[in-house]
Each structure stands twice: as structure tokens, then as C-alpha cells.
A and B are shown apart, each in its own frame.
Chain A
């Protein structure tokens, strides 16, 4: 189960998934990202500090936006992953396809 919060800071939209993203809850992550894009945000941060678990369904959501973001010049940075979540991205080689920062400061610098 996941709860997703959103805040806006320094012209950036920050998406904060709290809990576990799996096949039953990935749709919620998808809807929140779609909403952010629909509202015209071009700088999106995903705060993963409270993300306890992510399965391929959640990873697939991020993957599915890569081309759209390229086309629309939208930049997204994920940050604050715990070791287990970071390992999941690593196994699939997604660290090459997505921008992942250590923490919020670094993530904001990447979008500045």
C-alpha cells in the first residue's frame, strides 16, 4: 500500500511516495505523475526517502514516462532511496536511464 503526497518547492513539483509500490498500487504513482505533467510541471522530483519497497510495476511507471519527458523537455530526478530500493533499480540497469541523486540538495542542483 502506498500513500503519495505532493508539494511544490522552488518551482519544482515534489512527489513523495510513502510505503510500498507494487502491482496493486503502482496505478496511484502513475496517476500522480500524470497529474503533475498535466499541470505543466517541467521539473519533477521524486522523494524516495519513505519508499520502503518497489516492484517492477512501479519501475515500469517511471520507464513509461522517459520518452514523453524527453519530448516535452520535462526533467525528473529521484532521490533518497534506501539500499534495497536502490538495489532494485541497479539490478535492471535503470540507473543509466533515470536520473538518481543521493539527496534532495543534489537532486535540486541537478534540476536548477
Chain B
């Protein structure tokens, strides 16, 4: 069953997002480590969106949904009014460069790509939908 969470773009809401995902996945017998990886990846996606697309405006809302499909795996969707930056087009900087430049950013996208199996973007009714899929085992 698809579960939906509407959230304002304040980074103070990231904790609520993490709780929402943990609670949504709890009944499905997904491995604890898989849940924690998905929580991390979605935290990264949502914080990027809040900070870069919405400049942390708490009045801007986007929609996050989780759908568990025993064949496909866990499917997340982020639906947003703004045109969202496609992380597939982003070339992550080498770790050595991040260290050298003393950059605090640049790791989040690397985490999302390492954790999720598929990341797709679609346009629908003037909104951008980012769909992220993780194949997992259900016990």
C-alpha cells in the first residue's frame, strides 16, 4: 500500500521524514540495514531538494511517498512543483578532491547512487516526479 507524506521544506523536518520511512517499511520484513540505507538515501534526496530548490522555505511543500511492491522492491516518489536537478547527470567529484577542497558537500549524491538501484525523473501535470527504487528481500 502506498503511503504519502506531505512535508514543508525546512531541514528541521528531516527527522520526521526518516521516521515516516522507518514506520512505513516496518511491517514488510525488510532487513534493518536495508531500511537504514533507504532512510539515509531519502534523507539526502529530501535535504538536497529543501536546500537547493526551495532554499529551506518551510511554506513550500512537496510530497514523498513509499510503495512496497514485492516484485519491484521499495519504490519512493518525490513529487515537487520545482524542476528538480537530475542527479543522474551529476558527476560526483573524487573523494580526494573533496578532502583537498575541504568541501562539506558532495557526498550525498554519491550515497544515493550507491544505495538505490534505479533513479528516474518524469514530468506530469506540471510537476516533477523523482522515482527511486531499491530491490530488497522480504522476509
Contact = CB atoms under 8 A, between A and B. Distances in A.
B12 interface: yes
Interface residues of A, number: 29
Contact of A20 (B15, B33, B99, B114): B15
Contacts, number: 85
A24 B102 contact: no
Contact of A92 (B33, B50, B102, B110): B110
Interface of B: 11-12, 14-15, 18, 32-33, 36-37, 39-40, 43-44, 47, 50-51, 95, 98-100, 102-108, 110-111, 114-115
Interface of A: 1, 20, 22-24, 26, 30, 53, 55-57, 59-61, 63-68, 83-84, 87-88, 91-94, 97
29 contacts: A20-B15, A22-B11, A22-B15, A23-B47, A24-B12, A56-B105, A56-B108, A56-B111, A60-B105, A61-B104, A63-B98, A63-B99, A63-B104, A63-B107, A64-B103, A64-B104, A66-B99, A67-B99, A67-B100, A67-B102, A84-B32, A87-B33, A87-B37, A88-B111, A91-B37, A91-B114, A92-B110, A97-B95, A97-B99
